[in-house]
Amino acid sequence: MSDKPVRVAAIGYGNRSRKYLQYVEEYPDQVQLAAVVDSNPLRLHEAQKKFGLDDQYCFSSIDDFFAQPLPIDGVVIGTPDHLHYGPCMAALDMGYRVLLEKPVSQTLEECEQILLRSEERQIPVTVCYVLRYHPYFKKLKSILARGDLGRLISINHTVNVGIDRTTHSYVRGLWNNSNTSTPIMLAKCCHDIDLINWYSGSRPKRVFSSGSLTWFHGKNAPKDSARRCCDCPCEESCPFSAIDLYLRRGEWTKNFTVPNGMTLHDVLWEEMRHGPYGRCVYHCDNNVADHQILSMEMENGVLVNLTMNCFTLNDGRLIELKCAFGEIVANEHSIIVTNFKTQKSEVHDFDSTNQPSLHVTADIGTMKEFIASFNHTCDEDIPSLQSAIDSHKTCFATEESRLTGRAIEL
């Protein structure tokens, strides 16, 4: 490794970028935050204070940030989905290496333009497919690669979204409408398609999907319900109450910015009265599916079933890999590998690895590999931009299949 720390800029200092920047805090000898961009003055100020940045390296506008070359090596792009394409193209033009939040972009055309620019400039773009950098998901790949279970025949993959995440993100929140964001298969399950491609060592040949927005629309609203939970006579008995989620249980509140002189409680009440997160789940502008299934036939013959469930208390993934001589069952706590011949099982326990959470371990692993990539000491298994875009392509085809009722050949 070179002696000098890698210098990165954060474009967007929100929930995701902060996760990656934890690595900067922990390993200042490897990486420094040299500049930050955020249109939210509170967030910008917070980053400036935390990382001790001079004013000249703090930008409220993305255009101002790219207006002149800066002494940086790379950028972490953690802006909302519609602000991935522009900053990524500009970063490549400036010669900065990119860690880019998923989705790569909201359309396939823009994804392909980013790929082309990255190839032309010969500058890598690393997509935040964070699960790829997690020891648990890597272990699954290494068990398959051992060969003792024989050929992979089929995959059953279940994504439990969790009801709180569903109402926060996919009913009231930023990813609730495919016209303004993306289909839920891309927003939520692009990680899963990428894992399936990785585990099978192949790509989908044909996809078929069905699913719909079954529950979260006006026809299911209780009689007498109001447009907002704070005005609703059904609030106390409703399992989807925003007041219960944010104020009583205090879940999903980290993304609300608290201005000076206000408390989180004040901000949340203001949101309940006027903001999108205080809306009744039956009266939102959402259109994305709330349950969906996908069947895929891979080019190498592996068959895949993926189920996305929003109606689950907890979130998490259950992965079953069926091989010719044995099977693997992975539930995020452990991986159980059973051999048909010996009829014995080996158990790999991951509860301690996933502290404080599976996502945090994955996020830190992602930043670690990104930084290592500047010195060519990264894990050879890191996904290429091309493979990330392949998984996006599958997600768009899945949505086409769901909407048309047809199988789509890829």
Ligand X SMILES: NC(=O)c1ccc[n+]([C@@H]2O[C@H](COP(=O)([O-])OP(=O)(O)OC[C@H]3O[C@@H](n4cnc5c(N)ncnc54)[C@H](O)[C@@H]3O)[C@@H](O)[C@H]2O)c1
Rule CB under 6 A: say whether 150 interacts with ligand X: no
Question: By the 8 A CB rule, do 171 and 286 touch?
Answer: yes
The one among 30, 38, 302, 373 contacting ligand X by CB under 6 A = 38
The rounded distance, in Å, linking the Cα atoms of 1 and 376 is: 8
Write down the least CB distance from residue 125 to ligand X, Å.
14
Write out 112-159 in H/E/C secondary structure: HHHHHHHHHHCCCEEECCHHHHCHHHHHHHHHHHHCCCCCEEEEEEEE
Rule CB under 6 A: say whether 375 interacts with ligand X: no
Q: Of 42 and 336, which has the nearer Cβ to ligand X? A: 42
233 to 262, contacts with ligand X by CB under 6 A?
255
Q: For ligand X, which residue has the nearest CB?
A: 14
Rule CB under 6 A: say whether 39 interacts with ligand X: yes
Write down the least CB distance from residue 61 to ligand X, Å.
6
Residue closest to 89 by CA, chosen among 107, 102, 77: 77
CB count in 10 Å sphere of residue 49: 9
Alpha helices in 335-384 (DSSP H): 358-373
The rounded distance, in Å, linking the Cα atoms of 103 and 110 is: 11
Question: By the 8 A CB rule, do 48 and 85 touch?
Answer: no
Rule CB under 6 A: say whether 16 interacts with ligand X: yes
Contact window for ligand X (CB under 6 A) among 20-28, 33-41, 207-215, 310-318? 33-41
Contact window for ligand X (CB under 6 A) among 14-22, 240-248, 288-296, 306-314? 14-22
The one among 73, 81, 164, 399 contacting ligand X by CB under 6 A = 81
Rule CB under 6 A: say whether 14 interacts with ligand X: yes
Write down the least CB distance from residue 256 to ligand X, Å.
10
The one among 9, 73, 76, 78 contacting ligand X by CB under 6 A = 78
Whether cis (ω within 30° of 0) applies to the bond prior to 5 is no
Place of tokens 């990165």: 8
> Which residues of the chain form contacts with ligand X (CB under 6 A)?
12-16, 37-40, 43, 62, 78-81, 83, 101-102, 128, 130, 255
